[in-house]
Amino acid sequence: MNLSDVTERISRKLESSGAQPDRQKIESRLRRLVEEFGVNVAEAERTVTGDLAREHNLPNLVSSSSDLRPINEIAPGEWVTIEGKIVSLTPSISPSIAQNGIIADSSGAMRFVVWSRANAPAMEYGHWYRIESAVVDEYKGSPNMKIHSGTTISQMEKDVPLLPSITPSAELAPGVGSVRAKVIQDWDVLSDRMLQTGLLGDESGTIKFVIWKEEGKEKLELDGVYNIYYATVDEYNGRLSLTLNTAMYIADEGDIEVGRNETEIQGALIHVAPGSGLIKRCPVEGCNRSLSRQNYCPVHEIQSNFRYDLRLKGVLDDGERARNILMQRDLVEKLTGITLDEAISIAESNPIGMDEIFYRVRNAVLGRYYTCSGGEFAGRMLVDSCAPVTFKPEELAALLNRAGGEVA
Amino acid sequence: MRPQATFEREPARRIFASEFRETRYQFKEGDDEKSPNYVIFPTGIRSNRIFVVGTLTEKQRQGDQNIFYRGRVIDPTGTFFIMAGSYRPEAMQQLARIEAPAFVAVVGKPNLFVTQEGNCLVSVNAESITVVDRETRDLWVLDTARETLDRLDALGTTGDSRKAQEEYGTQPEVYRKIVYDALSQVQM
């Protein structure tokens, strides 16, 4: 830990209570404790904070690390005392970690780690503990409580049932979260260690989930609605995902109207990709993959009882960004004026077959302006609605004004 | 898990013919043989693909062994020279099929060619050419006007636009007038 970071933290803490501390003084006091007296940084921070709080007459800061705090108010960098219930314990991934899991109170939940070197008593799932002088830092973008040798853990006699608060999926942040969601997609697992992966949705949007193989973990049912308590929320490449290994999930009644993370884009369709137009799909239930010209499915091999479908894979480009889009049959029919039945009969009576439909679709849409809205998924927009852009005289007038004030 | 899309396709820039004709500066990003070639337009943006909608007024088949088509596409400010060769048979056949005059949408790569006399010829190597309608042409003029004005507003604030000012001595009022004149030709 860097002393200037600590200085900054102490200064902010005092400033937030209305004091105006001298940063140089703080740093020199810290340095003295750490370098001359060999005090560890965390302890030096506590001492200096306490001294300064007394000097500035801020008594409530002095006892900050022993004041009981609600979990959802704790930020990385704080020394805290909390009372919480162990709601999840996950197998340790390293010999230097004795235990890790999630601790919760009525305000929220947080991941924690107990270092082996802390020699702390093992905590049990479902029990309440008072944890004094633990330190909270940031791990992969979310707050994480570290229990070290200076932390006191005492088991409590309390057994208050906790009702985790459900968060809309669109408002989840890295850390721990509970959702009520429906399983809307169940994907193929690509790793031996993975039990299940797919997409969950609630009214506010969708989020990817993963369950790693572990004793006692069960799969979610496709289309089932679940209450998922204390899942781990991770961020990867700017996208959130839920890991359910820390979570308790219970099937729930009812259904959810899944909201989509809809975006709208307007631009010119500048590319129609191969695989657009009339395609054949694998008839095996739940497969639906598109077949090659020889009716070969990458999973189910030759399928001659295929069914036909229309789709459009292309690029919509607004001059600033080029985005991949995918449209299903109903939209392709609407934009091109060719129905699936017509497309089939044209293809079956034409010497170039399905290529003829590709050309007709391409000639109908390529180079034209459209407004598309839909959800973005794996770098591609799945278009729900699409309309041609129409010419609006007021836009022309506005642009003339913008270009021409002084010229006209 | 699905593969993450790591490759982001370059957008097709919108540019009027009279600005495109002035383009002289090109560079290659990276030393790799497959590194993309860019040009920088006078209003200050790099591009390796453009989108044009205009009127195809003539086309010509040329060459004996290496057949290619040349076309002229007119916008309100001037002419784009379009090339479609046998290395892109789809685009070539699309152009072969179209009878001039027609409104066409062209997606293609900017191409600079310096003659022995030192003249610079600017053309578009077509990736696709399709017949569109008048409304699409009008939308393109608005779109191109907006993009050009946005670039003029950002002139001097980005690396590419500073490079453009250095290479071309771009005078924003000249391009503002071009935009204004182009818009004036669109019927309300």
Flag if B107 and A187 touch (Cβ within 8 Å): no
Of A395, A383, A38, the residue nearest B139 (C-alpha):
A395
The β-bridge relationship of strands B120-131 and B78-85 is parallel
Q: In this structure, what token pair is assigned to residue A224? A: 């089932």
pLDDT band at B5 (very low <50, low <70, confident <90, very high): very low
Q: Does A231 or B2 have the greater pLDDT score?
A: A231
A351-360 pLDDT per residue, tens: 998 999 999 9
pLDDT band at B4 (very low <50, low <70, confident <90, very high): very low
Is B2 part of any domain?
Answer: no
Of B2, B12, B136, the CB nearest to A368: B136
Query: Hey, what's the torsion of the CAs at A337, A338, A342, A347, to 10 degrees?
Result: 150
Q: In this structure, what token pair is assigned to residue B85? A: 């060769």
Lowest mean pLDDT across A55-69, A381-395, B158-172? A55-69
Which residues sit opposite A252 in a β-bridge? A225
Supply the DSSP string of A270-288, one letter for each residue: EEE-TT-EEEEE--STTT-
Return the CATH number at B87: 2.40.50.140
Q: In this structure, what token pair is assigned to residue B108? A: 């293609």
Which residues sit opposite B103 in a β-bridge? B55
Q: Which residues on chain A are in Cβ contact (under 8 Å) with B131?
A: 363
**Torsion sign across C-alpha atoms A352, A356, A362, A364:** positive
Instruction: Determine the structural domain holding residue B25 and report its residue range.
Output: 17-184
Q: In this structure, what token pair is assigned to residue B188? A: 């309300």
Residue range B109-135: mean pLDDT, rounded:
91
Supply the DSSP string of B57-122, one letter for each residue: EEEEEE-SSS-EEEEEEEETTEEEEEEEETTSHHHHHHHHHPPSSEEEEEEEEEEEEE-TTS-EEE
Tell me the nearest-neighbour CA distance from A199 into chain B, angstroms: 10
Of A338, A340, A321, the residue nearest A379 (C-alpha):
A321
Q: Give the separation between CA B99 and CA B18, rounded to whole angstroms.
A: 25
Q: Does A408 or B170 have the greater pLDDT score?
A: B170
Q: Does B142 or A39 have the greater pLDDT score?
A: B142
Fold topology of A71-155: OB fold (Dihydrolipoamide Acetyltransferase, E2P) (2.40.50)
pLDDT band at A334 (very low <50, low <70, confident <90, very high): very high
Q: Report the amino acid identity of residue B52.
A: V
pLDDT confidence of residue A1: 57
Q: Which residues on chain B are in Cβ contact (under 8 Å) with A371?
A: none
Q: Give the separation between CA A366 and CA B129, rounded to whole angstroms.
A: 8
pLDDT confidence of residue A60: 58
Domain count, chain B: 1
Q: Report the amino acid identity of residue A191.
A: S
Looking at domain A262-388, does it have CATH number 2.40.50.140?
yes
Q: How far is CA A107 from CA A70, A287, B61, in A?
A: 6, 44, 75
Q: Give the separation between CA A225 and CA B52, rounded to whole angstroms.
A: 49
Q: Give the separation between CA A183 and CA B134, rounded to whole angstroms.
A: 47
Query: Hey, what's the torsion of the CAs at A47, A50, A53, A55, to 10 degrees?
Result: -70
Q: Does A238 or B62 have the greater pLDDT score?
A: B62
Q: Give the separation between CA A93 and CA B160, rounded to whole angstroms.
A: 49
Flag if A404 and B4 touch (Cβ within 8 Å): no
Q: Which residue does chain B place closest to A369, by CA atoms? A: B136
Q: Which residue does chain B place closest to A394, by CA atoms? A: B188
Check: CB of residue A75 under 8 Å from CB of residue A143: yes
Domain ranges for chain A: 3-62, 71-155, 169-252, 262-388
Q: In this structure, what token pair is assigned to residue A85? A: 């219930």
Helix (H) or strand (E) holding A211: strand A205-212
State chain A's mean pLDDT as an integer: 87
Q: Which residues on chain B are in Cβ contact (under 8 Å) with A315?
A: 9
Lowest mean pLDDT across A112-121, A160-169, B108-117, B174-183? A160-169
Of A233, A104, A252, the residue nearest A167 (C-alpha):
A233
> How many Cβ pairs within 8 Å bridge chains A and B?
108
Which residues sit opposite A321 in a β-bridge? none
Check: CB of residue A6 under 8 Å from CB of residue A30: yes
Q: Which residues on chain B are in Cβ contact (under 8 Å) with A399?
A: 142, 145-146, 149, 179, 183
Q: Give the separation between CA A323 and CA A327, rounded to whole angstroms.
A: 13
B34-59 pLDDT per residue, tens: 778 899 999 999 999 999 999 999 89
Q: Give the CATH superfamily of A169-252.
A: Nucleic acid-binding proteins (2.40.50.140)
pLDDT confidence of residue A53: 79
> For testing the chain B interface, which of A190, A276, A366 should be mutated: the one with the most B CBs within 10 Å?
A366
Q: In this structure, what token pair is assigned to residue A26? A: 């703080």
Tell me the nearest-neighbour CA distance from B63 into chain A, angstroms: 27
End-to-end CA distance of chain A: 63
Supply the DSSP string of A274-328, one letter for each residue: TT-EEEEE--STTT-PBP-TT-EETTTEE-TT-EEEEEEEEEEE-SS-EEEEEE-
Is B6 part of any domain?
Answer: no
Q: Give the separation between CA A259 and CA B140, rounded to whole angstroms.
A: 34
pLDDT confidence of residue A57: 75
The β-bridge relationship of strands B25-28 and A225-236 is unpaired
CB-based burial of residue A380 (10 Å sphere; 0-12 exposed, 13-18 middle, 19+ buried)? Answer: middle
End-to-end CA distance of chain B: 50
Q: Does A58 or A109 have the greater pLDDT score?
A: A109
Q: Which residues on chain A are in Cβ contact (under 8 Å) with B8?
A: 322
> For testing the chain B interface, which of A186, A191, A208, A402 should be mutated: the one with the most B CBs within 10 Å?
A402
A205-216 pLDDT per residue, tens: 889 999 999 888
Which residues sit opposite B60 in a β-bridge? B70
Query: Would you tell me which residues 98-157 of chain B have a C-beta closer than 8 angstroms to some C-beta of chain A?
Result: 104-107, 127-128, 130-132, 135-136, 138-140, 142-143, 145-147, 149
DSSP-derived 3-state class of residue A127: coil
Tell me the nearest-neighbour CA distance from A278 into chain B, angstroms: 19
pLDDT confidence of residue A238: 67
Q: Give the separation between CA A153 and CA A147, rounded to whole angstroms.
A: 9
pLDDT band at A59 (very low <50, low <70, confident <90, very high): low
- Asked if the model's pLDDT at residue B107 lies above 70, the reply is yes
Q: Which residues on chain A are in Cβ contact (under 8 Å) with B179?
A: 399, 403
Tell me the nearest-neighbour CA distance from B49 into chain A, angstroms: 10
Of A76, A78, A70, A155, the residue nearest A107 (C-alpha):
A70
Q: Report the amino acid identity of residue A150.
A: G
DSSP-derived 3-state class of residue A36: helix
Is B7 part of any domain?
Answer: no
A124-139 pLDDT per residue, tens: 999 999 998 888 888 8
DSSP-derived 3-state class of residue A166: coil
Is B90 part of any domain?
Answer: yes
Confirm whether A71-155 and A262-388 share one CATH topology. yes
Tell me the nearest-neighbour CA distance from B118 into chain A, angstroms: 32
Residues of chain A above pLDDT 70, percent: 96
Tell me the nearest-neighbour CA distance from A408 into chain B, angstroms: 8
